[in-house]
Structure 1
């Protein structure tokens, strides 16, 4: 599996900005394809474009606006804490229902749906590109029934593959391969990642640091966010050379004269093409960035963070696991969460005890649910 890197994606070029403004789509007439869906909207993309359009479902306009605001808050934070090896899509635009020019150009290019009236509101963000073909084929070869593998590799639906990283879930022993195998929104369980010798501790560390920033810099609970493996943008001439090489100016200065920089860039970029991404923020609750508010409601805040941790899909490692690897993952997660939270809260001495209190509360909740016979990672509000 290629290694990660902290580089942020490049800006839209002038052509794509014109497209988002509605200026070019009317002339190209390229239809959108539906590539995903969520609670608050459907996600569409055009072939060859590195952005997606999330259109709100009826009655979910406010949720999409919340998604927009929370996404911006975390994007800003991860720009500050750029050492965290977890990417977040860039936010390009937000289109209101009343933007007649945009909807006149784009509505006809969206797939028709009788129960999905347009215009609506739309959030436009960077597209998380599918996993490379070599990785998609490896997933099919390992986890798809043999008689379905060739069809799965040929299916265009499986090209839009990102994988949800479920460090808190293993498949049941001797689970049969699924007869309806699909790579779209693939649930990548811990045992599967271990089968492929993927760096699960690295993922746990990245998730922990990201969640610490979400909690203590952004002051959000992280409810229902997703962590997925996807690809980075293709090599282009819109990213600074030091970022693409992963070298600073002094290191470049020591290269041989007339080194093939172009070849080095492509090799480095392809090696680091697979990334951990965080997305989907429409259900996040945002707290005031006020220490007094947090301290006055300390118990309620910690309770909400714990609820969000367990009610999410099983991305995070779980405490009190039986197997050694799972135990180690929780320790890695806990240590990195506490380290990053301490960095974030450097000047907020009054809140420094809260990250540990959150983790202790997670362990206590898990212990209580296990004693009740409810199993690991039990969710009270979701099945």
Structure 2
């Protein structure tokens, strides 16, 4: 057993153009003031870090770490969610996802993909330079438009999609191996890796690559009606990162999992701030602790009701209240009989 680190905060939903959220100095000081010990950093947000420089300069990385530590936090992991999304994009989503790429690459899917691969590799290298051992990402998706089989999917369609996805990620995973960094794919709707089965399909095609891990976020499983506690038992060895995000699923006679094209507030499945939804975080933290997860518990604020800053402040305390400091002795040690091997044999009548 190991004590989970935390609380940490994912900064993607908080970075902005107004102070204190528009600079590394400001946002780290603010996060520490909310009670956080660590921050997970979106590598593509230039308000927070220069990814090109971080990939080239260990000295620059030490400056980032030093300033964060002066303000009371450390860097838990880097995130390349948006860049990872662009590693594989079905043409149906080209226009929507063009917004994730630099303006000069929009309308050019091949150039956009090459840029994304380079960005993910740079995030891996920067992670190494920061002394980190895990990085977050999305997998991207080629098969997602065909999730529901109507019309019937032609034979080989999904296999071709996953073969291609694996081929695109294999050299990135090999670079991660060279850098000693795990790629933790957030198992997420909209990605081809959206549940355990799809993760296994990918894992088979990259030959069980040791750097292919999961970012565990139970909120996405609640909204899929997937057993998020059993998931921990099945994939214990592959879980490399943990987002503390809550959700609720309240289906009615009018809508269910698919949400009826409604905005977040009107959906049957909604993300909520930690503690406001249906996730049994007591059980989640217990299982992660028992299985020896020693990473960070990182709050990802996504809530359709609560203000972001309130969710951040409350989330820090929520994680503190759920982290289990592991026992250093058994509770019944006081009753130990102090027997030896010979006594054990006598007790068994041997």
Give TM-score, length-normalised by structure 2.
0.25
